[in-house]
Structure 1
Amino acid sequence: MVKTMLERRIPDYTLEQPFYNNPELFRIDMEEIFGKEWIFAGMTCELPKKGSFFTLEIGNNPILIVRDNKNEISAFHNVCRHRGSKICLASKGKSPKLVCPYHQWAYDLDGSLVYASDMGDDFDRTQFNLHPVQCKSAGGYIFVCLSDNPPPIQEFLDDLNHYLEPFDMDNTKIAVQSEIIEKANWKLVVENNRECYHCEGSHPELLASLLEWDDNNDPRSTPEFKALVAEKQALWDGIDIPYLFTGTYNNRSRIVRTPLKAGTHSMTLDGQVASKKLLGRVPIPDLGALRILHLPNSWNHGMSDNLIAFQIIPVSPQETRVVTRWLVHKDAVEGVDYDPENLSAVWTATNAQDRSLAENNQRGVNSVAYRPGPYSKTFEFGVINFVNWYCERLKENLG
């Protein structure tokens, strides 16, 4: 059924209804997309010390990400090799050992089994280490892949390191974190993010600082925008801030530095910086925004003073968890350098607005009247790119 729908889909149109609400197709998405692609898991600053860990669930797969005694970040299936219980039950923490709460089997931070009582003299602990998960870090970001044969990602990671070097993301902290459940299929959540066709009628707070486009080749870009880009690029050159886009990553990922609206420095209600202490080696408040996309589950905005990292995790055919992290310099002091409410106000409002849009979209898609409709090639090319990427990866991963 899936292959047939992929073969007959109309280019530049929305997908057929089952892609957005069918339980079997959701299972396939979790196995063939979230089970085989690189997934944004979290930030390196969430693991500040040896023994620090956090957990994540990708479908039915509980994952554990930990900083080990060699100061390296690794990931494991959060499943005890004894009888399969989850080991780390907390969302995050710090521990010298990973101890299963069921029968107290204990694992070192490298995943090796170091203690299992009363298993007999012939028991070989080395055969029961935690199952590893592919894990890579770059630019302060952590990615995991459940497949033993993950797709290439190194070019994107190299560019992440390059673009994010001025921010020194390893030395940031999460100042605010929010989590909401959108009652919509994960693809509808991503589609909504990949266009600003809806922004003027839905996001007044966001448009106080955000320019709807970020590319001189965008057919909507104006002479004023192109002049602003030239002005900011000259400024960035003068302070050694990278901005030249060099990679395409086959529609999966995108990195671009773009100006914010003239006179604004950050995504706040008044457009001014939310944190007085700027990130890393950033010398001025006016860096515009570094936009980072990584499919299937993350988009990001990095300013001089803070970086906002968005993460989606599918929950069910019509539910998606959206996690938003606002990161500031690790030495920024709450109440002195930044106010959490001011820092998060714009995107708290925008997330609520997007949730309403996605949920209304889902309700309409569920109707017997729904049929695939055309995307605007002018305003929704980002959605077209996403849907093309999704269909190509699904077809290839299904074999």
Structure 2
Amino acid sequence: MGPDMNTTFTASLIAERVPGFSLPRDLYCSEQTFQDDLEQIWYREWLFALPSCEIPKTGNFVTLNVGAYPVIVIRGADGRIRAFHNVCRHRGQRLCPKTNGSNPKLVCPYHQWTYDLDGKLLYARDMGEGFDASKYGLKPVHCVDLGGMVFICLAQVPPAINELAANLTRYVLPSAIADSKVAFSSTIVEKGNWKLVMENNRECYHCGGSHPSLCRTYSDDPLMTVMEGPNSASPEILAHWARCDAANLPSRFTNAPDMQWRMARVPLMDNQESFTMSGKAAVARRMGTIPWNDAGSLMFYHFPSSWNHFLPDHAIVFRILPISPTETEVTTKWLVHKDAIEGKDYDLKALTEVWLATNDEDRQVVEENQRGILSPAYQPGPYSPTQEAGVIHLIDWYCGLMARRLTPTSVAAE
């Protein structure tokens, strides 16, 4: 997946960009840059796919599309979660057209080639003498389960994931994500470039003017999200971390050196408990071993595909997938304790209304942002170093990675 002659277009735009400013117009809307983004990032990086609790039983599966690649993630009879290209090895039919479901075997709907849940071809009718079924198993996709968060990677050789694995597994352990269940799922399409969707998430400069429901419990004060290290944050956050330390609840800021991922547990405003209109817990049964209702939110993001909130009473996991230069799929799942009962332990409206509203508000913001950038009058503007530090991290990560991968001399190193 090295660069070709056309990639000089994207590379030159990145080389010309002004640090601390938004990107040039074509990096947000050109077909060439979109293809470069797919080839150099989406087809090479680890991507959050789903929470493992969504496929708790043998044969449970979820499908997704990463650019041109349809993928199926499925739980095998041995309990292991695997991922495969969702393409029959006979004549290329998609094996599973549904977004989710359960099958004891994977049977191609075209000619009934049948695969075991580990990808092995079990049955192919009338293929003649000498046909070797062992050569036609499903093509695997790299797949790891990190404490209940399932990641996939399409690359032949995926990048190292050891550091993320160690940190994420430890931080989400108290939430018992693997022992939760999906209470509700929402998928929307935002008519904006994937970078605009992620940029919008990485700042709360817009929150006061756009998110009245969220701002009842989540502070738009940048000091509540800007942290420089495990001992460098606002006094309120440091006090919260000290309280969590005493309860053996992993909370302090940790991150990748290039800021591809970071996580930290932060308090909600005024010791409120959850992202609800009342500020109180939406679910009576607390997640895992989190000791208090006001433990705040463990916030975790991972470029390019995900941001997440792990609260005492529930968790919200977000996944984005690029569709076109100006379209992005955003999927949100609300997780609760596996034994929590709707109508008894939680009310679905109270659980979901804040982020359903916030997602729709973000969709409108992103779509208007994209419409403005499509104008020939658009030119990059400066980011706020305090309010938009997270956006700067994203754009610096994106530009640094793309510059390295689009430079021929750097391809071997990458």
Fold similarity call, TM over 0.5: yes
Structure 2 equivalent of residue 67 of structure 1 = 75
| Match in the other structure for 1:353 | 361
Q: Note closer, same or farther for the CA distance 1:316–1:18 as it changes in structure 2 (3 Å cut).
A: same
* Count of residues in correspondence between the two structures: 394
> Shift in Å at residue 214 of structure 1?
7.1
Following superposition of structure 1 onto structure 2, how do residues 234-245 of structure 1 map, counting pairs within 5 Å? 234-245=242-253
Deviation per CA, 1:32-53, whole angstroms, max 9, x where unpaired?
1111111111110011011111
Aligned to 2:63: 55
Which secondary structure state, in structure 1, belongs to the residue aligned with residue 255 of structure 2?
Answer: coil
Q: Report the RMSD for the aligned CA atoms in angstroms.
A: 1.5
Match of 1:255 in 2: 263
Q: 1:164 aligns with which of 151, 169, 172?
A: 172
Listed one character per residue, the Cα deviations across residues 161-215 of structure 1 (whole Å, up to 9, x for unaligned) are 1011111111111111111111111111111111111111111111111123576
3-state secondary structure, aligned to 2:269: coil
Q: Which residue of the partner structure matches residue 335 of structure 1?
A: 343
Letter paired with 2:187: E
| 51, 54, 57: which one aligns with 1:46 | 54
Once residues 278 and 217 of structure 1 are traced to their aligned partners in structure 2, the CA distance between those partners, rounded to angstroms, is 24
Alpha-carbon distance in 1 for matches of 2:61, 2:162:
24
Q: Give the AA of the match of 1:85.
A: Q
Q: 1:325 aligns with which of 330, 333, 337?
A: 333
Rounded to whole Å, the distance in 2 between the matches of 1:340 and 1:97 is 34
Aligned to 1:106: 114
* Residues 139 and 368 (structure 1), Cα distance of their counterparts in 2 relative to 1, 3 Å cut: same
Once residues 67 and 203 of structure 2 are traced to their aligned partners in structure 1, the CA distance between those partners, rounded to angstroms, is 27
Is 1:275–2:283 an aligned residue pair? yes
Contact 1:248 1:254 (C-alpha < 8 Å) held by counterparts: yes
Three-state SS of the structure 1 residue aligned to 2:323 is: strand
Cα-to-partner distance string for 1:353-397 (whole Å, 9 max, x where unaligned): 111111110110000101111111111111011011111222233
Find the aligned partners of 2:50 and 2:139 in 1 and give their Cα distance. Answer: 20
Q: Is the 8 A contact 2:240 2:267 kept in 1?
A: yes
Does the 8 Å contact 1:135/1:144 carry over to 2?
A: yes
Match of 2:126 in 1: 118
Classify the secondary structure of the residue corresponding to 1:33.
helix
Which residue of 133, 138, 144 maps to 1:130?
138
Q: Pick from 286, 293, 305: which aligns with 2:301?
A: 293
Give, in angstroms, the shift of residue 239 of structure 1. Answer: 2.4
Alignment of 1:3 onto 2:11? yes
- Tell me how far 1:130 sits from its aligned partner: 0.5
Cα distance in 1 for residues equivalent to 2:53 and 2:112: 29
Deviation at 1:297, TM superposition (A): 1.0
- Structure 1 residue 217: deviation in Å? 8.9
In the superposition, relative to structure 1, how do residues 214 and 155 fare at CA in structure 2: closer, same or farther (>3 Å)? farther
Task: Quote how far apart the aligned CAs of 1:13 are.
Answer: 0.9
Query: Are the equivalent residues in 2 in contact too, given 1:206–1:346 (CA < 8 A)?
Result: yes
Residues 305-360 of structure 1 deviation map (CA, whole Å, 9 limit, x = unaligned) = 00011111111111111111111001000000001111011111111111111111
What's the counterpart of residue 84 of structure 1?
A: 92
Query: 2:322 pairs with 314, 317, 336, which one?
Result: 314
Kindly indicate whether the alpha-carbon contact (under 8 Å) linking 2:52 and 2:149 is maintained by their aligned counterparts in 1.
yes
Tell me, yes or no, if structure 1 residue 188 matches structure 2 residue 181.
Answer: no
1:146-225 matched pairs, under 5 angstroms:
146-213=154-221, 218=226
> Shift of the alpha carbon at 1:283?
2.9
Write the distance in 2 (CA, Å) between the matches of 1:168 and 1:186: 30
Gaps of 5+ in 2: 1-8, 228-232
CA distance in 1, matches of 2:94, 2:225: 49
Q: How far apart, in 2, do the equivalents of 1:260 and 1:144 lie?
A: 31
Q: Decide whether aligned partners of structure 1 residues 213 and 121 sit closer, same or farther in structure 2, where only a CA change above 3 A counts.
A: farther
- The change in CA–CA distance for 1:12 and 1:230 in structure 2 (over 3 A counts) is closer
Per the TM alignment, residue 234 of structure 1 is displaced from its structure 2 partner at its CA by: 3.5
Tell whether the 8 Å contact from 2:204 to 2:222 is kept in structure 1 after alignment. no
Q: Does the 8 Å CA contact 1:214/1:258 hold for their aligned counterparts?
A: no
Q: Sort the Cα spacing of 1:22 and 1:216 in 2 relative to 1 into closer, same or farther, 3 A.
A: closer
Matched-pair contact (CA < 8 Å) for 2:15–2:403 = no
Aligned to 2:31: 23
Displacement of 1:244: 2.2
Q: What CA distance in whole angstroms lies between the structure 2 residues aligned with 1:357 and 1:391? A: 23
Note the C-alpha offset of 1:249: 4.2
* Alignment partners' CA distance in 2, 1:266 and 1:178: 19
Q: Residue 197 of structure 2 aligns to a residue in which SS?
A: helix
Distance 1:351 1:230 in 2: 30
Identity of aligned residues (%): 45
Give the letter aligned to residue 179 of structure 2.
N
Q: Whole-Å Cα distance in 2 between the matches of residues 368 and 244 of structure 1?
A: 44
Could you tell me how far apart the structure 1 residues matched to 2:394 and 2:402 are? 12
Of 353, 368, 373 in structure 1, the residue corresponding to residue 376 of structure 2 is 368
2:254 & 2:219 partners in 1: Cα distance?
22
